[in-house]
Chain A
Amino acid sequence: MSTKLLRRTGFLAATLVAGVFTGAQAAEPIKIGTFLSVTGPASFLGDPELKTLQMYVEDINEDGGVLGRPLELIHYDDEGSASSARNYASRLVRSDRVDIIVGGSTTGGTMAAAPLIEQSRTPFISLAGAVVITDPVKTWVFKTPQSDRMAAERVLTAMQERGISKIGLISGTGGFGRSGREQTLAMAENLGIEVVEDVTYSPSDTDMTAQLTGIRNNSEVEAVFNFGFGQSPAIVTRNYAQLGIELPFYQSHGVASNSFLDLAGEAANGLRLPASPLLVPDSLPADDPQRPVVQAYKEAYEARWNESVSTFGAYAYDGLQLAVMAIENAGSTDAEAVREALENIQGYVGVTGTYNMSPDDHNGLDADSFRILEVVDGDWKLID
């Protein structure tokens, strides 16, 4: 029995070794690692992100790759769990030995994986939102989405412009909502807006009427701001309409997708949110530098996958383009050189916004890259 087992193990080891050698003999690909939440509660993030990465890696390879080398995408699905994200990140840097990581759909997953990736000195472009990812700046960690601080800033200034000074805040208790809540509270204080109601819901809640009732019964509230993502904000939106609350309603960029409109239905009419220009490609002014980039991405994605494009996929698009640009600028896949090149990217016009990286800013976007949209008759309308 044990000799048989031994022989099998030996055979397995031999196959593995052979595999490693044949791999090394072929043209050396540039390994792009990614861990995304393709299934599970955050699948609406990971799914379009993975599709985008796959599509553009194929495209780039057809055009001859980067530095004359093909790209190889190594993907793991963390199913929305931070501990799996950490495990897979460890596998990416230790056993797959990737050159750069573009991934991490959720803030939780990104933050769990970041220390380990930092330790391995691998450039890492995260696709998650929270400001903690790049503030304080971590040497090896970058991110493409606007941070929640910018979303809070954009929404609160938009409210101020409408003369609103007292708001009710409702937020999810997931990583995104929690961080968004903190940023909103901090930003509100800066801007002199008073948060008179502050309630939360868990991402698995199926009814938020109880929380919204408190807000409705507080006569001081002049507008309501919901910070959350997933299907929960759609439930909040429906309950909001059901309870007949007439106050201006703002959502975060976490729900800036067409599937949110489908879920929330009529209840969404009139609500406003900060979003990527990707949702209104045709309303952008002709001289907007993002217009052609946005339209090209939308067309390519929809033609390839036969489903409507989402902002989250665009984060992956920008992440991959930044990675490719950095490798090209560095002229090699040397980790330190790529990192430095990433840090010095200026004026890259992406789908999400125009990136100006610097050693103190590993995100490179400002709050104005968000456009304020309103839902009108079940569709997005550019307000500002």
Chain B
Amino acid sequence: MFSEFLQYLFTGITIGATYALIALGFTLIYNASHVINFAQGEFLMVGGMATVSLMGMGFPMPVAIIAAILLAAVLGVALQRLAIAPAKQADPVTLIIITIGASIFIRGIAQLVWGRAYHSMPNFSGSEPVTIGGAVVSTQSFWVLGVGAVLVVALVLFFTRTMTGKAILATSMNKGAARLVGIKTQSVLLLAFLLSAILGSIAGIIVAPITFTAYDIGIMLGLKGFVAASLGGLGSGMGAIVGGLLLGVVEAMTAGYISSDYKDAVAFGMIILVLFFMPRGLMGARVVERV
């Protein structure tokens, strides 16, 4: 009985950690610009697909991974420079629609370049799973959790210890004031896209051995990440992590104890409840509207 519970818990935490990383990507860009970047899932897809195709060309895995992250980073910068920046002072809603367009575009290109088939990626270390208290955990799960934790710590340090990180925070709090004290808000935005592209592609790479990867994997995972972000409270880093893990665990528990038919229903029902009673999400800041 307990081993069953443990099994569901590990499964949930692993997929939840991925959701959390995607949610963090949403949060980064949302903080810098109040834009919800619906192309976030595509960073994920580019990370996974580029790694797989580079490995197919015979590059060793670490090289392929680094090249894939670089490719996603370039894509993030290009997205901001070529699609978001030209729209200048446009409404966040307009920018959100631009990101939806960009995601369809990126997906289309990926489909042409890499084809429509699903691809598998080998585990980073060994395919022999580990048994903990009767539950079986794939070694890749540890990679997901470990890399996720490292990234979160790195982000926290970046935002609290470095000038650039603080500049991003300042821009998110008050763009006008940030500009007054000499922060280049455009480059802050660029940096936010760059970071969230890197974050997304890493998430896409570490999760690919578990979920497989394909040109359209970003739609589903991106949406789940967005759900996790709004569950935790858009704009809150802690919220993204809590939201992601919670979503993953609830999904796994529902699939295990009730039926996977209700998995999404339970997850989305939970969101409706949370947003009904706490409109800013579980960890969202209490903001007073200035008049």
Contact = CB atoms under 8 A, between A and B. Distances in A.
Task: Tell me if chain B binds chain A.
Answer: yes
B255 interface: yes
B264 A214 contact: no
A217 interface: yes
B209 to A, nearest CB: 9
A209 B116 contact: no
Contact of A39 (B7, B111, B120, B255): B111
> By CB atoms of chain B within 10 A, which of A43, A173, A209 has the most?
A209
B212 A214 contact: no
A242 B138 contact: yes
A206 B127 contact: no
A263 B260 contact: no
Contacts of B263: 202, 205
Interface in A180-225: 199-202, 204-207, 209-211, 213-214, 217
B165 interface: no
A210 B256 contact: yes
A40 B117 CA distance: 10
Given A173-B261, A202-B261, A259-B118, A235 B216 contact: no
B220 A263 contact: no
Contacts of B135: 213
Contacts of B20: none
Contact of B11 (A204, A209, A217, A262): A209
B11 A207 contact: yes
Contacts of B10: 209
A65 interface: no
A235 B255 CA distance: 15
A283 to B, nearest CB: 25
Contacts, number: 89
Size category of the A interface is 20 to 34
Nearest to A201: B260
Contacts of B207: 206
A41 B122 CA distance: 22
A42 to B, nearest CB: 10
Contact of A209 (B111, B127, B136, B259): B136
Contact of A40 (B7, B127, B216): B216
Given A200-B261, A213-B8, A214-B256, A207 B118 contact: no
A361 interface: no
A244 interface: yes
A300 interface: no
A243 interface: yes
B104 to A, nearest CB: 12
A206 B211 contact: yes
A214 B216 CA distance: 30
B211 A210 contact: no
15 contacts: A39-B116, A44-B117, A202-B261, A202-B264, A206-B221, A210-B7, A210-B256, A213-B135, A231-B118, A243-B129, A243-B136, A244-B136, A259-B118, A263-B118, A263-B119
Top-8 shortest CB links A-B: A210-B256, A206-B211, A43-B116, A231-B118, A210-B255, A213-B7, A209-B11, A242-B129
Interface of A: 39-41, 43-44, 47, 173, 199-202, 204-207, 209-211, 213-214, 217, 231, 234-235, 242-244, 259, 262-266
